Structure formats: C-alpha cells, structure tokens
Amino acid sequence: MRQQLSDQQHATVYQYRLTKRLVIKRELIQSHFIIIAIFLGFQLMAYGIQGLVAWFAGFAAIQLFHIVILLITFIRVEEATDRKWIWRINPPWIGFKPANDISLTLFRRVHRHLFWVGLCAIALLYPWIPASYMISLVSWHAWLIVPRLLLAFYFRKQPKEGVLRLQSFEASYYLI
C-alpha cells in the first residue's frame, strides 16, 4: 500500500532543474582518438618497439596512478568518499568517473587534485625512467584528464550548489 508523500516522515524529495547541458559530438570524440593515434605513431617512429611497449605500459601506469591519487584525495576530501567511482572505457570519460551525480564543486576539486598530483608524481619519476616512458606517462595523463578539465571549465559560471551528471555523450548540470 502506497502512502502519500506528506504522510512519510523520512521521505526525501529531490527536484532538480536542468540549467545547462553539453552534448559531446562524435567528431570531437573521433579527434580525441586521432590525437592518441598520432601519439602512438610518434612513439613508434621515435623509439620503435620500446615506444609501443611504453605506450601500453603508460596507459596501465596512469590508470594505476589515477586510482591511487583518487583514493588519497578521498581521504582529504571527505564528501568524495560518499560517492561511488567506477572505471569506464566509454569515450570521452575513459578511466575513473563518478557513478552517480556529483556536486560540481567536488568534481572540480577532485579533478584538480588528480591533474596536479598526477603531474607531480610523474615528474618525480623523471630521473629514473627512459624518455619514451616519460613521454608516454605525461601524454596519457593529459589525454585522459583534459576532457574533464574542459568540462569543469565549461560549467565554471554555474552556481556551486548544483550537481553534474555524466552520461555517454553528454554532461548535464542541474540546480537543486
């Protein structure tokens, strides 16, 4: 038997209002993949088979870096631990992304940490790894994080109270 909403004492009602939507065109996603293909071609021409190995190893290492940095960020940013993050390979959100809606402020903070701490961690490895691996790590890190940083830049003028929803080919911003 269903109760009226006014009769439920612990009911939570969310009324979101869509304020801005960004539809990501297929051409943009294709150009994003062309960039990584050009990067692979450069690695193969400059370093041969070592470049190919560095290309694959760089992707795996950056995914590992990102999960470690996200977990460390979640320790520092208390609200982030309440959210579930998943690994996806759906373009343009390749890598770890929020499984549900996330506040825009939290999204910006987490990805800002991810970008800068990731670059610093890669820079710390500079004296000990070959150039092909260094180029691979920096390129993969930038390639994976740039779509999210551009998204944060696109929604920069929106009020901080809203939530961001990432879907396959669009990002929507809702005000509560």
Residue 168 has pLDDT above 70, yes or no: yes
Establish how many alpha carbons lie within 13 A of residue 19's alpha carbon, considering only the half-sphere containing its beta carbon: 18
- Read off the tokens for 156: 């920069």
Phi, psi of 127 (to 5 degrees): -70, -20
pLDDT digits 0-9 by tens, 97-134:
887 888 888 888 888 888 999 999 999 999 999 999 99
- pLDDT grade, residue 137 (50/70/90)? very high
Q: Is this structure's pTM higher than 0.85?
A: no
CB contact at 8 A, 98 and 166: yes
7-35 confidence digits (pLDDT tens): 656 545 567 788 888 898 999 889 999 99
Q: Give yes or no for a contact between 83 and 99, defined as CB atoms under 8 angstroms apart.
A: yes
